[in-house]
Amino acid sequence: MPHSKVCVSDNLSHYMPLTADDHRLLEELEQNPRTATKDEVLWQSDDVPATLYTLRSGWAYSLHSAGSGNEQILDVFLPGDLLGIRELTFPAYATSLVMLTDGVVCPFPAERLLNIFESSPTLTLAIHASAARQQAIITERLVNILRHDARSRIAHFMLELYYRLKRIDATFTHDFTLPLSQRDMSRLLGMTTVHISRTLTELEREGLLRKTRRNVQILDLDGLARVVSFDPFKITDKLNPLFKGGASGSWTQRNPVSSARPSR
């Protein structure tokens, strides 16, 4: 297993302190863990969203298919992520969800999430903060893709993963498992596998990054950051100070704005 187990509580408590009740509500979501095998499809395009998942261990991705051979990976999900919120309100999924490695997922009915919305404003806010970060990751990646060349695209994605993994894994180093093939990366970054290969070779020749079949070594973090400015603040755990201390009750009495974004 590439990474240890992370539960949704661990993830959401990054955003704000959760009460014992909140933790209990989240544990209820994870009462039915089951193993999932690499390449297993948790849902497909056109399915009606009814079951959500938490990802306890392993990696997964969402795949947007349009015509034959025209596939785009949208999300890469890591342990602790909540799967399916983005498309919950639609009458049909626009993407499929596929396991990238073996792992453990916890399916739960969508209604349970709605019960949380009714019973805990704090958890509701934390879940929406989490969903907003998932969207921000996509947005940052795709903005970068639109405006930079192959070298920058790959550097940006590696920095994204670096910061996301460091957040969930205390034992994390600059040498980590990456269960994505070059074909996966091509479908994520909008390039051909041929060009992915060429560019990885170039990055290694420059001493920035070394990718083997299932590992990545970040050789020069600052060098990568010079290639492309990835701003980890864009997917920060920090909340809008309006919401400091959680949501319930005191929404109308505004908290003092203790710290705006530190100027860079």
Residue from 24, 183, 226, 254 in contact with DNA (CB under 7 A): 183
Strand partners, 217: 175, 210
CA distance 226 to 181: 25
Residue from 88, 104, 161, 219 in contact with its own copies (CB under 8 A): 88
User: Chain centroid to CA 166: how far?
Assistant: 12
Residue from 72, 181, 217, 236 in contact with DNA (CB under 7 A): 181
Dihedral over Cα of 128, 48, 23, 37: its sign: negative
Per residue, what are the HEC states of 65-122?
Answer: ECCCCCEEEEEEECCCCEECHHHCCCCCCCCEEEECCCEEEEEEEHHHHHHHHHHCHH
Query: Among the candidate windows 4-12, 18-26, 71-79, 182-190, which touches DNA by CB under 7 A?
Result: 182-190
CA distances from 72 to 90, 119, 135 (A): 19, 37, 16
For residue 11, state whether it binds DNA (rule: CB under 7 A): no
Site for its own copies in 215-234 (CB under 8 A): 229, 233-234
Longest alpha-carbon distance in the chain: 57
For residue 21, state whether it binds its own copies (rule: CB under 8 A): no
Query: Among the candidate windows 18-26, 27-35, 141-149, 162-170, which touches its own copies by CB under 8 A?
Result: 141-149
CB of 47 to its own copies, least distance (A): 8
Among its own copies, DNA, none, the one that 201 touches (CB under a kind-dependent 5 to 8 A) is DNA
CA distance 64 to 71: 6
Site for its own copies in 25-64 (CB under 8 A): 46, 48-50, 64
Residue closer to its own copies, measured from CB, 20 or 260: 260
For residue 201, state whether it binds DNA (rule: CB under 7 A): yes
Q: Which residues contact 213 (CB under 8 A, 6 or more apart)?
A: none
* Residue ranges binding DNA (CB under 7 A): 149-151, 181-183, 190-195, 197-201, 213
